[in-house]
Structure 1
Amino acid sequence: MPLIDRDDSALVIIDVQSNFYPPTRLDVDRQRFQEMVRRIAWITSVADRLAVPVVVTEEDPAVSGHTVAEIREALPAKAVTLAKNAFAVWDNPGIAAAIEATGRTTMVLVGIETDICVAHSAIQLHDAGKRVVVIDDAAYSPGRAHDRGLRRVTGQGIETLSTKELFYDWVRTIECADTFHDTHRDLTPPPGVRL
């Protein structure tokens, strides 16, 4: 597979909402969840500065709340946020239209839950002819469900990358990476991402 081309990429942030998980469900995985949120906020900021379009989904926002503040604050002005009623983003006509409107064919997926909404979205987008990449350290399901979701998508021929790998695919050269870091000193890499 070729490297991920930022000029053909759209970032799809799936359901990282304030009330999606009751606090008791996060007791064991709270740190992993918070690190995922920080990575997504950072990827979103990088996407904004590299002119990568961003589509955000919110599953049943009346119950699950809206996108968490840390990510919402990083969204580009042109980002589109849409309610999601089917688990796969592609099965929601408004979201599918927003994805098509980006004009991009490589979909970079982050969010929750890895084994359901992220997996369903990845599979449906892949079946629709898109190149799909799931950022494995910027997706989340509690416990072993995360690994099961990643196994399912890779079994379908869908790529997985880390946040670090995505960044370097998008910038491609030492000069571009150095220029990005010099220009955007405010973007401190998130936990677990050594650039």
Structure 2
Amino acid sequence: MINDQLLSQVVVIDIQDKLVDVMPKSEIKKVIDASSVLIQAAKILEVPCFYTEQYPKGLGSTVKKLKTLLLNPAIEKKAFSCLDESKFKSALVKSRPQIILCGLETHICILQTALALKAAGKEVFVLEDATLSRSSLHHQNAIARLRLEGIVVTNIESVIFEWLRAAEGDHFKIIAKLIKS
């Protein structure tokens, strides 16, 4: 369970123009929309949010809809596991052990990052509704493997409502409108 937004941080992995172009069209919009809601809720609740770009010279930059919401510059990488990049390691907030992952592709960068973070002692949460692979078989295989490896597979609404904890207050009202839209 996500105990508190003060323990969480969000990592958006490689939702870049050229990767988005090769994803199943019916699914990628849902992933981008879910990631957008997550980023906005994180911002409202002051949960740090980082994003990576896999070889941006070749794969382009993060899609505009998300990039406009993200405050920090992208962490460029060539390694599949984000943890293999020193800039990523130094960006993580050490006092926040719960790391929520969304992005592309589930069976490559999400999987390798989640397993490396777990091995480093972090509590890792992968958002099934905000991750995707080119092949649905690869996505489902990665989700099953993540569960077997002890990674928590969840969804954006569960995370957000665990952060909120109660249906009250200004944050709840703002975020509830975000989720409904």
TM-score, with normalisation over the residues of structure 1?
A: 0.86
Following TM superposition, by how much is the alpha carbon of 1:4 offset from its aligned partner in structure 2, in angstroms?
4.0
Q: Matched residues in 2 for 1:148 and 1:111: separation?
A: 16
Per the TM alignment, residue 182 of structure 1 is displaced from its structure 2 partner at its CA by 2.9
**1:187 alignment partner, SS class:** helix
Q: CA RMSD in A?
A: 1.7
Query: Which residue is equivalent to 1:36?
Result: 31
* 1:58–1:84 CA contact under 8 A, matched in 2: yes
Residue matched to 2:95: 103
Q: Is contact 2:38-2:156 (8 Å) kept?
A: yes
Q: Distance in 2 between matches of 1:38 and 1:102?
A: 28
Return the match for 1:129 from 112, 121, 130.
121
Q: Which residue of 1 aligns with 2:57?
A: 62
Per the alignment, residue 152 of structure 1 pairs with 145
Identical aligned residues as a percent: 26
Aligned residues: 180
* CA–CA distance in structure 1, aligned partners of residues 153 and 102 of structure 2: 11
| Of 117-126 and 2-11, the range deviating more from structure 2 | 2-11
Q: Where in structure 2 are the equivalents of 1:68-83 lying within 5 Å?
A: 68-75=63-70, 77=71, 79-83=72-76
Tell me what 1:182 maps to.
Answer: 173
CA distance in 2, matches of 1:70, 1:55: 15
Once the two structures are TM-superposed, the CA of residue 80 in structure 1 deviates from its matched residue by 4.3
CA contact (8 A) 1:15 1:59 kept: yes
Q: Which amino acid aligns with 2:79?
A: A
Q: Could you say if the C-alpha distance between residues 169 and 83 of structure 1 is closer, same or farther in structure 2, counting changes exceeding 3 Å?
A: same
Q: What code does the residue aligned with 1:10 have?
A: Q
Structure 1 residue aligned with 2:19 = 20
- For 1:151 and 1:59, the matched residues in 2 are separated by 24
Q: Which residue of 2 aligns with 1:53?
A: 48
Q: Distance in 2 between matches of 1:188 and 1:164?
A: 8
Cα deviation, residue 96, structure 1? 1.0
Aligned 8 A contact 1:42 1:189 in 2: no
Q: Which structure 1 segments of 5+ residues have no match?
A: 191-195
SS at match of 1:174: coil
CA contact (8 A) 2:2 2:98 kept: no
Q: CA deviation at 1:175?
A: 1.6
Q: Partners of 1:121 and 1:39 in 2: how far apart?
A: 20
- Give the SS at the match of 2:10: strand
CA distance in structure 1 between the aligned counterparts of 2:74 and 2:3, rounded to whole angstroms: 24
SS of the residue aligned with 1:96?
helix
What TM-score does the superposition give when structure 2 sets the normalisation length? 0.92
Letter in 1 for 2:127: I
Structure whose residues are more often helix by fraction: 2
Distance 1:12 1:189 in 2: 23
Q: Separation in 1 of the partners of 2:116 and 2:176? A: 37
